[in-house]
A = this chain, B = another copy of it.
Amino acid sequence: MTSPRTNRRFLLAARPQGMPKPDDFQLDTQPAPEPADGQVLLRTRFLSLDPYMRGMMDEAGPGYAPGVKLGQTMVGGTVSEVVASRNARFQVGQLVLSSAGWQEYALSDGSDLTPLGEMSRPSLALGGLGMPGFTAYVGLLDIGEPKPGETVVVAAATGAVGSVVGQLAKLKGARAIGIAGGAEKCRHAVEVLGFDECLDHRAPDLKARLAAACPDGIDVYFENVGGEVLDAVLPLLNLHARVPVCGFIAHYNEERGGAATDKRTQLLATVLGKRVRLQGFIILDHYADRFAAFRRDMTQWIDEGRIVLVEDVVERLEQAPDAFIGLLQGRNFGKLVVRVSE
């Protein structure tokens, strides 16, 4: 038997309107629970605080998970120590990665625990060696695919994700341009993290400064903030740029779906929540690679009667302007062509 322990925890007391306030959280104290057969009791060593938690405070959640219910313990990743075990897989004293949330003690049946093994800095399992670092790794390397000499831009450049994005970009031979709030963070990004440049988004003329910092345009924009950073990035994107969409810190405190949330943010929220791939293409790029296959397939499908091609044929060149205006108004029916001569 362990002696009675006190568990302090933070409950979600109110759903924030905009930026959370201290009163939205309620500190609650009760006896720590006792593990049942098969369970372990965990004591929290480190609690991770991450921007996605703002979305969890909304009823609808961040788009990929339901929100925390009012009166429930705030969710969060933790590095925890097994302090009592009735599960043969876990020994007292062992460190594990857990999702124990904002509290000092938690029960687990072990299914959600990852043993941490020997780590000189166990808290890194919540950061660079955990979810934020993994986010940077998958988002930048698997989706962003930076190539040597390309330019990578990331905001929140000294944050848990952005700091790794920038360093991975450098490691892959790309230029890394960071954006951060304040001169001190920008200096840190360059001097400690190795960014080529870092721009203070609080200073004026971000657009012009970003353009100056990216003379060859932007090949990968790791999107984690939205808002005015995205405004500045868009005109600089190069052909075939990649934009892994990881989050929108700038919008997390806006009223969801309200007038304050513009359509672009709604689109990006869907792209994120549903892991959508949105990809622009201009058919001119694809003739060399794919036109022969297309003509072969399409001709066969037409011959087999599996594809029907309907044309809307307008007679005489003089009719072209009117027919074109009709096309824009939806008047045509099938592919519109002008028969100019027989």
Contacts and interface: CB of A to CB of B under 8 A. Distances in A.
Interface of A: 8-10, 19-22, 24-25, 27, 43-51, 53-54, 64, 74, 78, 81, 102-104, 121, 123-124, 126-129, 131-135, 137-139, 142-143, 156, 158-160, 163-164, 167-168, 171, 181-182, 185, 188, 192-194, 223, 230-231, 234-235, 237-246, 249, 252-253, 262-264, 266-268, 270-287, 290-291, 294-295, 297-299, 301-302, 306-311, 313-314, 317-318, 320-325, 327-330, 332-342
B283 A134 contact: yes
A19 B107 CA distance: 65
B244 A158 contact: no
A159 B334 contact: yes
A283 to B, nearest CB: 4
B104 A317 contact: yes
B245 A280 contact: yes
A279 B297 CA distance: 29
A321 B45 CA distance: 17
B327 A51 contact: yes
A219 to B, nearest CB: 10
Nearest to A234: B270
Contact of A137 (B9, B64, B126, B298): B298
Given A285-B275, A317-B47, A158 B127 contact: no
Given A275-B282, A282-B64, A283-B138, A309 B124 contact: yes
- Number of this chain's copies in the assembly equals 2
B234 A104 contact: no
A243 B104 contact: no
The listed residue with most B CB atoms (<10 A of its CB), out of A274, A287, A291, A310, is A274
Contacts of A322: 22
A167 B330 contact: no
Task: Pick the 6 closest A-B CB pairs, nearest first.
Answer: A127-B335, A128-B309, A160-B335, A263-B264, A272-B280, A271-B280
A334 B158 contact: yes
A282 to B, nearest CB: 5
Nearest to A79: B337
A245 B310 contact: no
Contacts of A276: 237, 240-243, 279-280
Contacts of A124: 309, 311
Contacts of A290: 134, 137-138, 142
11 contacts: A10-B321, A44-B340, A123-B339, A124-B311, A138-B290, A160-B334, A163-B308, A235-B270, A240-B277, A241-B277, A245-B279
A332 B159 contact: yes
B47 A320 contact: yes
Nearest to A279: B277
Given A277-B279, A284-B64, A335 B45 contact: no
